[in-house]
Structure formats: structure tokens, C-alpha cells
Amino acid sequence: MNLKCDMENNHKTTGKVAGIIANLVIVETNGPVSQNEICFIQHQGVPLMAEVIKILGRNAYVQVFESTRGLKCGTEVIFEGHMLEVTLGPGILSKNYDGLQNDLDKMDGVFLRRGEYTDPLDRDKRWNFTPIAKPGDQVSAGDWLGEVSENGMPHKIMVPFKMTGNYTVKSVTPAGQHKVDDTIATITDENGHAHKITMVQKWPVKMAIRQYKEKPRPFKLLETGVRCIDTLNPITEGGTGFIPGPFGTGKTVLQHAISKQAEADIVIIAACGERANEVVEVFTEFPELEDPRTGKKLIERTTIIANTSNMPVAAREASVYTAMTLGEYYRNMGLRVLLMADSTSRWAQALREMSNRLEELPGPDAFPMDLSAIVSNFYSRAGYVILNNGVSGSITFIGTVSPAGGNLKEPVTESTRKAARCFYGLSQARADSKRYPAIDAIDSYSKYLEYPEVQSYLDHHVGDTWLTNVIKSKDILLRGKEAREQINILGDDGVPLEFHERFWKSELIDFVILQQDAFDKIDASTPMERQKYMLEKVLEVADASFDFDNFEEVGSYFKQIINQFKQINYAEFNSEKFNAYMTELNTMIQSHLN
């Protein structure tokens, strides 16, 4: 491999196209190039961006982020001397980017034009800057120098992540309005050399930003408002999870619900392979949604990275890294970031396509042999961190997987299962019976419940009986499933009444706790206090012993109980209506107690 010794050298390496295999182009170089370096192929006056993914002697294999139709051998290629980078600075929120961080709103026409690249930031906008650091302060990469308000969020201006060593603040611009390219501070290194700092910096997307003091295991519960997640399989701030399921089981809708309701400061949506109609829904829906946390529009604290399944394969692969890097940037401001990726299966398919074109040894289903390592490395970039100043920040990452035919044993699902700590498996049977969210509570799990620090947090903030109730609920669901199978095999009259009662108690948990109405303002999002109260009430019914004469009476009674609970779910917590429904429920329960 040829390594470029001086990446800052103004002399750029050039080359000529020597071979073309779809969007994989072989370039014969006349100088040194490095792995993952960016280059531009000069096709008929239009620059096509590409990334070096393999080097053999003087030949660099590059994946092109655009269509290569019409490209010919001998075309000139110019290497830039840096990896694929994102531009970081104020103005990222409420933007719609593609996988290369081009601002889609600045582009003209219905279809993206080949070779069109736009600036991700507004260079002319003025921001109200407030200094944080003062002359004489000792700083290093990632430390805060000042702050601007970005859609109401405290956007920190930091010492660029690429700067190594310790620095002394020489001067900081006083409070006032400034453009992103204005100098807001001057810092000096250990040799006395001065460095001017602006609000803008760049960072390679495939390198994690690690400018923090420590990265402990996450322990704080992330409230999503979705009961089947928060109640039975909670995810933590800085945690990782994934949602596998067949097509049409509600992966995208569930992700959107979590995005709207979760206790996060920043939401980043990476549509890394969704169909175009699904992404259009995001573009049209999010600007109209009211943020329940701030009362403003949800889009004001959201960034969308859109690379649909009909966009170039290589750009689709880059989009997940772009989204994660933006998340790391905001995490270093001490913010809670929620990153949603849909669908990582199509990201893996992009990896498979490029691996096959490179003629690498294929793994299962022709995916790359190192697919599991690639997925694990990416998921590891999420997490809960303590910054140099003691402030905490987090990235909670939830991806979706679309296994072909709903086969959860295929390589992408298996590789993701090893990396993610939460598994929210969607069931085709539940989706077909309109039981949404279609998460299978029995097969799904949260490994965070095994962490002592998470258990301690739940005991202190939710209640010391919470974990016991979660285990009890899953046991009732499992026993109910077994009872249903026995009833289906032997018939209603062929099993004892105990089996019918066991089945209907599991149905009670299913209808009241697991299912949720996204179209109802109250039931769409449930706070933890209410989830705890309702779970305890449902388990109170499940623990009770009832007196029934026949199986028809069992079904009729529990249907009434379920209907009453559903009315309670639609009533505002602790309201007059809520308490009235609860009184009626208690009367109904007493009527059949043994």
C-alpha cells in the first residue's frame, strides 16, 4: 500500500481511469495515495466524487458516489489528500442532507444532477456568539470556546477535533453577531504558534470522535413513550438497539414514533436505503409536527440524512457514517442525541456489492467476511460519555434490519444481534392481526436489564418492584402463548378453565400494555409514571383468582376488562375521567373474584 506522507502538501496526486466495473473504477496513479482518500474524476467537465477503498501497486480502486454512465478510460482523476469529511458548525439542525452532506434544499429540480455538490452550511447567516473561554485558559481538542443558539439549542463552538496537544487561549471574540467563517478565538500551541479558530471544522466520517474523558457503561433509562419498549425491554441513554422484521411490519413507523417522543435533545434520521416514498413522508410530516418537549416544530431539532434505495450504492454506505459523525459532534456539546437508521440491511447490501466487485472472498449470503466487525465497529461509536469538563453527552442508536423473507437467521440480523444490546423483533403474525407496535415481547430483550447500574437506576427512579414486575409480565405472556397453543390443538372444551384464564390474562397484558394507538394524543406517548401505575394494575388483575362456570364466561369477562382498560388508556392520567373509569374497573374486578 502506498501511504501519503504529507497530507497537507499542496501538490495533489493525479491519475487516469484504467478500468470501470459499474461504480467501481480502477485508477492508475502517478503518486502516493492513501486508503479512504477522496478523489474527483473529471468526466466531461463534471467532477464525480469517489473514495479509495483498495490499493494495489500504482492502481487505486475507488468507489464512485455518482453514476459512472458514459465514463471512459483515460479520464483524469485528481486526489484531494484527505478522507471523506463532514463540515461541522452551526446550521446543521433542520437541514435535509444526502449521504455526502450536500444540502438537498439548495438543489434544483426533481432529480439530483450528477456532480452537483452544495455547501452544507449557510456562510452568510450571522449567529449570536457568546464566549465561554477566556484568555489564559488551557484548552485541548473538543473543549468549548463559545456558544451560539441554534434553533434554541446551545451549540458549542469547540477547539477543532483534529488539533492535538494543549493550547492556551490568547483571545476570544466578545459577544456579538458573527458569520461561521469569522475568527472567534485565537489559541497558541506549546511552541507559541498562534491558531485562529472559526465556528467551522471538518472531520473524517469513518473515524470516531474520541475527544472525551471517559466512556462508562450507559445506565440512565431513555424514555421513548412506547410502552412495549419502556416497560418490558428498556433502552438506555447512549444505548444501542435494532428493530428487525419482515416488510410491512411497521419498522419505519415505530422509528418515527420513537423520534417524536423520546427524551432526546437532538434527533438524526439516516434514511440509508428507505424507499423514496417513505423518505418523502418524513420530509413532509416532520416540518408539520409539534415537538411535545418544546412546543416548537420537531424539525427544528432534527437533521435528516436521505439516501434512498435508488441513490448510488456508495453514497448509501457513506450516509450512516455521516449521520454518526454529526451525532458525535453534538454529543461533544453535552447533548443527548437519538440516531435512527433505516434500513441498515441496505447499507450491508451496499457493502456486499462493493465487496463482490472487488472480488473479495465472500462470506455467508455473499456478504463481506468482516461484516460482523464492520457492524460492531459502527455500533460501538454510540454511547454515553463524560467530556473533559465533566459534562455528559450521549448517542442512542437504533437501527432497523429488513431480513429477506423475515428470516432472522440471515447474516445482517445475526451480525447486528452481536453488536446491539436491545433486540426489538417485529412479528408478522402480530402485524397481520393489527397488534401494533408489532414487537414480539417474548422474543425481544434488553441486555441493559442485566447491568447492576441500570438495575440500581430503575430501583431508585422507577421503583424497586419494577424488575420483578417485568419478569412476571413476560412469564404471563409465555404461559399464555402455551395455553393458546393447547386450546388450538385440543379445542375450547378439551382444556381446563385454568388454560382459558391463563390465556386471557396474557391477552390483558397484550392489549393494555403492549398495544398502543399512535393516532390518539394521550395513548401515543406514555410517561414512565403512568406505565408503572398501569403495569401494577394489570398485574393485580393477573394475580387475582376468579370464579367462572365455563370458558365462554371467561372470554366475555376479560373482554369487558380489556375494553375498560383501553378507555383508561385514552383518558388523561389522574384526570376526573381517568379516576371514574378506574372506579368502574375496580367494581368489575370485584364481581368475579373467587
State yes or no: cis peptide before 437, omega within 30 of 0.
yes
d(CA 309, CA 479): 42
Residue 357 has which C-alpha cell?
466487485
Distance of CA 338 to the CA centre of its chain: 6
* Distance separating alpha carbons of residues 76 and 30, to the nearest angstrom: 11
Spatial distance between the Cα atoms of 265 and 587, rounded to a whole number of angstroms: 43
Tell me which residue of 466, 486, 477, 475 sits closest to 511, measured CA to CA.
Answer: 477
Count Cα neighbours of 155 within 13 Å in the Cβ-side half-sphere: 21
Which candidate, 171, 148, 150, 146, places its Cα nearest to that of 159?
A: 146
Q: Where are the beta strands (DSSP E) in 438-572?
A: 445-446
* Distances in whole angstroms, Cα of residue 108 to Cα of each of 92, 135, 280: 20, 45, 16
Task: Round to whole Å and give the CA distance between 499 and 171.
Answer: 76
Q: Which CATH topology does 14-82 take?
A: Thrombin, subunit H (2.40.10)
Identify the pLDDT of residue 247.
85
What is the pairing mode between strands 144-150 and 96-97?
Answer: unpaired
| Cβ neighbours, 10 Å, residue 309 | 18
Which CATH topology does 127-201 take? OB fold (Dihydrolipoamide Acetyltransferase, E2P) (2.40.50)
Q: What is the CATH number of domain 227-456?
A: 3.40.50.300
Phi–psi pair at 325, nearest 5 degrees: -65, -40
At residue 293, the pLDDT reads: 74
- Among 12, 119, 132, CA closest to 76: 12
Q: Quick one: which H or E segment has residue 156? A: strand 153-158
What pLDDT does 7 receive? 39
Whole-angstrom CA distances from 340 to 134, 243, 325, 466 are 37, 10, 13, 28
List phi, psi (to 5°) of 394. Answer: -150, 155
A 10 A CB-CB count for 261 gives: 19
Contact 155, 400 (CB under 8 A): no
Cβ neighbours of 8 (radius 10 Å): 7
Q: What is the largest CA-CA distance in the chain?
A: 90
Contact (CB, 8 A) for 506 and 477:
yes
pLDDT in tens, 82-138: 999 999 999 999 999 999 999 989 988 767 788 889 999 999 999 999 999 999 999
> Residue 105 contacts by C-beta under 8 Å, 6 or more apart in sequence?
95, 96
Domain edges within the chain: 14-82, 127-201, 227-456, 466-590
CATH class for domain 466-590? mainly alpha
pLDDT of residue 10: 56
Q: Give the DSSP per-residue string, 96-110.
A: EE-TT--BGGG--SS
DSSP-assigned letters across all residues of 533-566: HHHHHHHHHHHS-B--SSHHHHHHHHHHHHHHHH
Residues in the chain: 594
Q: Provide the Cα torsion 571, 572, 574, 578; round to 10°.
A: -10
Task: Enumerate residue ranges in the chain where pLDDT < 70.
Answer: 1-10, 110, 277, 309-310
| C-beta neighbour count of 262 within 10 angstroms | 24
Three-state DSSP state, 229: helix
438, 430 in Cβ contact below 8 A?
A: yes
